[in-house]
C-alpha cells in the first residue's frame, strides 16, 4: 500500500496532520531485541544525513526519530510547525521545512496563486526562523500551457517580495526540481537549467534549488555534471532509486557513492535526505543501508 502512495497525496496528508499511524510488524528492526541494543552508526562526517518523513508513514514521528538517531541521521525532512516540537525533543534538525505551499501543482508560475502563496509564506518564514531552521520548500507548479519565459517572470514576481522577508529572517526559499515525465507530469521546474535561470533572475542567496537526484535522473540524467556545474544554486539534495523510487542499492541504475563524492567535492555542507519508498519488508534496514551507501 505504501509502495503505491504517490508523493503528492502523501505530502497533502502530512500537511493536514493526518499521519498518526502506529508502527506495524513490517518494521522488524524497530521491534527486535537486537535492534534495541544498537547504538548510532559510526559515520564519517562528510555528509549530513536526513530522511523524508512521508516515506515512513507506518511509523509515528516519534518512532521515526528514534530509529533515525540509531542510524546516525541528524534531520527529518518535510515537516511543518506542528511536528517541530517532536523532532526537537529528539535532538534532530528540520533541514527542509514545509507547510506554506498550496500543493505541488498550484505554484508561483501562475499569478492567480500569488495572493495565497504570499500570505502563506509571509506567515511561515518568521516561524521557520524562530524555530532555528533555514530552508523552506516551494514549487513552481504545473505549466498548464505557461511557456518558460512567462513561468520565469511569474515565479520571480511572486517570489521577490518574499525574498526580502526571507533575507531579513535568514531563511532560504528552496524550489524543488521534480520530473515531469513520470511522477509530476506538466511540472514546470523540471530541469536544472530551468531552476538555475530562475535563481539567476531572482539574484539572491535566499533563493536556491532542491536537487532531487531521483527526479533529475529521470528528466535529464547527467547527474554529476549538473551538480558540479550548478552547485552554487543548490541548497539541498534528495535521493531515490531509479526506476521506481525504491532502495538506492544495486537494484537500480544510479551509483550513489560517486554522486555523494561529487556533492562533497563541491564543498557542500548541507544535508542529503533519503527520499525513497522502501520496497523491502524491513524498511528501517533499508534506510540504514542507504545511509551506509551515502556515507562516503
Using CA atoms, how far residue 139 sits from 106, 107, 188, in Å, is 8, 5, 9
Q: How far apart are CA 283 and CA 289, in angstroms?
A: 10
Q: Report percent pLDDT > 90 for the chain.
A: 86
Q: How high is the pLDDT of residue 22?
A: 37
Please say if the pLDDT value at position 1 is more than 50: no
Provide the grid cell at 118.
504570499
Q: Do the beta carbons of residue 278 and residue 246 sit within 8 Å?
A: yes
Question: In degrees, to the nearest 5, what angle opens at C-alpha 255 toward C-alphas 250 and 259?
Answer: 150
For the chain, domains (ranges, CATH) are 2-294 (3.20.20.150)
Q: What is the pLDDT of residues 18-44, one digit of tens each?
A: 333 333 333 434 434 444 444 467 899
Average pLDDT, the chain: 90
pLDDT over 80 (residue 13): no
Distance from C-alpha of 101 to C-alpha of 107, rounded to nearest angstrom: 8
Residue 137 bridge partners (DSSP): 174
pTM of the predicted protein model: 0.88
Residue pair 74/48 in contact (Cβ under 8 Å)? The answer is: yes
Q: Which residues lie closer than 8 Å to 31 by C-beta, 6 or more apart?
A: 23, 25
pLDDT, tens digit (0-9, with 9 covering 90-100), for 51-106: 999 999 999 999 999 999 999 999 999 999 999 999 999 999 999 999 999 999 99
Q: Cα–Cα distances in Å, from 119 out to 116, 166, 172?
A: 5, 13, 17
CA distances from 150 to 99, 146, 153, 195, 283 (A): 26, 6, 5, 14, 42
User: Has residue 112 got a pLDDT over 90?
Assistant: yes
- The number of CA neighbours under 13 Å toward the Cβ of 65 is 16
Residue 6 pLDDT greater than 50, yes or no: yes
| Whether the Cβ atoms of residue 196 and residue 152 lie closer than 8 Å to each other | no
Q: What are the residues facing 175 on neighbouring strands? A: 138, 209
All cell numbers assigned to 203 = 539574484
pLDDT-derived band of residue 230, with 50, 70 and 90 as boundaries? Answer: very high
Q: Which three cell numbers stand for residue 281?
A: 519488508
Amino acid at each position: 500500500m505504501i509502495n503505491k502512495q504517490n508523493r503528492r497525496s502523501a505530502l497533502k496528508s502530512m500537511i493536514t496532520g493526518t499521519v498518526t499511524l502506529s508502527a506495524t510488524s513490517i518494521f522488524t528492526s524497530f521491534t527486535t531485541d537486537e535492534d534495541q541494543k544498537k547504538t548510532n552508526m559510526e559515520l564519517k562526517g562528510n555528509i549530513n544525513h536526513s530522511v523524508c518523513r512521508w516515506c515512513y508513514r507506518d511509523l509515528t514521528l516519534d518512532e521515526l526519530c528514534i530509529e533515525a538517531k540509531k542510524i546516525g541521521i541528524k534531520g527529518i525532512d518535510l515537516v511543518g510547525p506542528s511536528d517541530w516540537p517532536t523532532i526537537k525533543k529528539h535532538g534532530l534538525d528540520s533541514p527542509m521545512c514545509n507547510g506554506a505551499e498550496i500543493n505541488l501543482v498550484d505554484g508561483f508560475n501562475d499569478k492567480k496563486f500569488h495572493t495565497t502563496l504570499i500570505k502563506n509564506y509571509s506567515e511561515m518564514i518568521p516561524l521557520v526562523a524562530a524555530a532555528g531552521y533555514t530552508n523552506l520548500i516551494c514549487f513552481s507548479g504545473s505549466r498548464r500551457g505557461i511557456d518558460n519565459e512567462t513561468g520565469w517572470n511569474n515565479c520571480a514576481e511572486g517570489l521577490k517580495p518574499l525574498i526580502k522577508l526571507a533575507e531579513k529572517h535568514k531563511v532560504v526559499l528552496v524550489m524543488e526540481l521534480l520530473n515531469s515525465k513520470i511522477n509530476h507530469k506538466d511540472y514546470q521546474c523540471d530541469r536544472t537549467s530551468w531552476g538555475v535561470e530562475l535563481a539567476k533572475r531572482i539574484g539572491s542567496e535566499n533563493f536556491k534549488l532542491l536537487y532531487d537526484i531521483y527526479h533529475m535522473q529521470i528528466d535529464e540524467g547527467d547527474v554529476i555534471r549538473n551538480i558540479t556545474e550548478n552547485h552554487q544554486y543548490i541548497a539541498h539534495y534528495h535521493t531515490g532509486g531509479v526506476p521506481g523510487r525504491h532502495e538506492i542499492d544495486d537494484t537500480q541504475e544510479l551509483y550513489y557513492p560517486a554522486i555523494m563524492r561529487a556533492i562533497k567535492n563541491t564543498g557542500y555542507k548541507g544535508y542529503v535526505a533519503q527520499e525513497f519508498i522502501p520496497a523491502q519488508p524491513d524498511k528501517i534496514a533499508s534506510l540504514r543501508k542507504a545511509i551506509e551507501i551515502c556515507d562516503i
